[in-house]
A and B are shown apart, each in its own frame.
Chain A
């Protein structure tokens, strides 16, 4: 009988442990990029990658927030793509060193920024006042639904002085449709 009670007690302790673990409160750390142990992550149409792990490359994924596309005038097939902010940081101790941050839309280079005796590059939306001009496209042109027009592939890449890719963020940006 004693053995059974001991066995059941152990089982209860195990279950209690599982319960406590599963009810652990979500902390801010859970939202942090799990660098550098996971150099590639994908969520839906978003992908971010690191070519190498710090200190040989960036200290983490390129920080990117809220890419967006808007249509200022519904009578025109003109939309603008922008990003709230982005930032790439190198620890500056081991080659290759961060040299430039590039933004491409559908493969076309639209923006590049370089370091000047520094280890990081920062972009804020107001550095391109209206954003990057693109065509909105007709309803469902990109396959995202009738409210949307084209879907642009956005590539943000950090590169070293010799052009080696150090990390990249890739997303599909959906624009409002132009309805003549």
Chain B
């Protein structure tokens, strides 16, 4: 009788262990989805020449890091308009620094107080999205204030 009880107890213990091991295995198998993080450093707007109404938006750097080797794309939008698309090529991350886009993304500086602040011209929304091939994605957004353009034109001082 005692032997039968011990046998049953051992059997129950072993069955429970097997079920738990199976559950852990299945759970671990299904939680390998990729993750992704995004970092935007120092978005800027610069009016390189004060005699024009063209300003340039860029960031010191923008980076996205994924957990696997299947990075898909990083997209940069200014006021909702796609301006840059960077893709992964069998890699896990994307990195964009200010030098990689020449002078930057051209925008209109705007007149003084164009956005409600007399010290600035237009304000733009710089948005960045990044995604992995399995659909994991992230995004970030920043308001960028541009110097104003007061319409002054500097004519060269030329003598006849």
Whether A65 contacts B91 by the Cβ 8 Å rule is yes
Q: Are B87 and A72 in contact (CB-based, < 8 A)?
A: no
Q: How distant is the Cα of A147 from the Cα of B78 in the complex, in angstroms?
A: 12
Whether the pair B86, A19 counts as a contact (CB closer than 8 A) is no
- Residues 46-68 of B contacting A (Cβ, < 8 Å): 67-68
Binds B, one of A10-18, A106-114, A157-165: A10-18
Asked if residues A68 and B95 are in contact (CB atoms below 8 Å), the reply is no
Known A-B contacts A72-B102, A82-B100, A175-B85; A19 and B21 likewise in contact (beta carbons under 8 Å): yes
Q: How far is the CB of A152 from chain B (nearest CB, A)?
A: 11
Q: Does A180 contact B (CB under 8 A)?
A: no
**Contact A68:B83 (CB < 8 A) given known A26-B67, A31-B92, A130-B102:** no
> At the interface with chain B, which of A39-47, A51-59, A95-103, A115-123?
A39-47
Say if the beta carbon of A177 comes within 8 Å of chain B.
yes
The interface bits of chain B over 74-96 (1 if a CB of A lies within 8 angstroms of the residue's CB, else 0) are 01101001111111111110111
Q: Once the chains bind, are A30 and B89 in contact (CB under 8 Å)?
A: no
Q: Select B100's contact among A30, A64, A68, A169, beta carbons within 8 Å.
A: A68
Q: A18 vs B103: C-alpha distance in the bound complex, in angstroms?
A: 54
Asked if B104 and A171 make an inter-chain contact with CB atoms under 8 angstroms apart, the answer reads no
Chain B residues with a Cβ closer than 8 Å to the other chain, count: 45
**Contact of A68 with B87 at beta-carbon distance under 8 Å, contacts A16-B21, A19-B28, A74-B81 already known:** yes
Q: List the count of A-B residue pairs having beta carbons below 8 Å apart.
A: 126
Give the residues in chain B near A74, CB-CB below 8 Å.
78, 81, 83, 106
A174 touches B68 (CB 8 A): no
Q: Which of A4, A15, A16, A26 has the most CB of B within 10 A?
A: A15
Do the beta carbons of A179 and B28 come within 8 Å of each other? no
> How far is A22 from B24 in the complex, measured between Cα atoms in Å?
10
Residues of A contacting B25 in the complex (Cβ-Cβ under 8 angstroms) = 15, 18-19, 22
Are B14 and A66 within 8 A (Cβ)?
no
Query: Could you tell me if A71 and B68 are in contact, using CB atoms closer than 8 angstroms?
Result: no
B18 contacts chain A at the CB level, 8 A cutoff? yes
CB distance from B119 to the nearest CB of A (A): 25
Contact partner of A72 (CB less than 8 A), chosen from B18, B89, B106, is B106
Task: Assess whether B125 is interfacial by the CB under 8 Å rule.
Answer: no
In the complex, chain A residues whose CB is within 8 Å of the CB of B92? 31
Q: Does B72 reach chain A (CB closer than 8 Å)?
A: yes
* B33 interface hit (Cβ, 8 Å): no
A-side residues, CB < 8 A to B, are 1, 4-5, 8-9, 11-12, 15-16, 18-19, 22-23, 26, 30-31, 33, 41, 43-44, 46, 48, 61, 64-75, 80, 82, 84, 125-126, 129-131, 147-148, 169, 171, 173-177, 179
Rank and list the top 5 A-B pairs by shortest CB-CB distance, nearest first. Answer: A68-B86, A70-B84, A147-B82, A15-B21, A176-B82
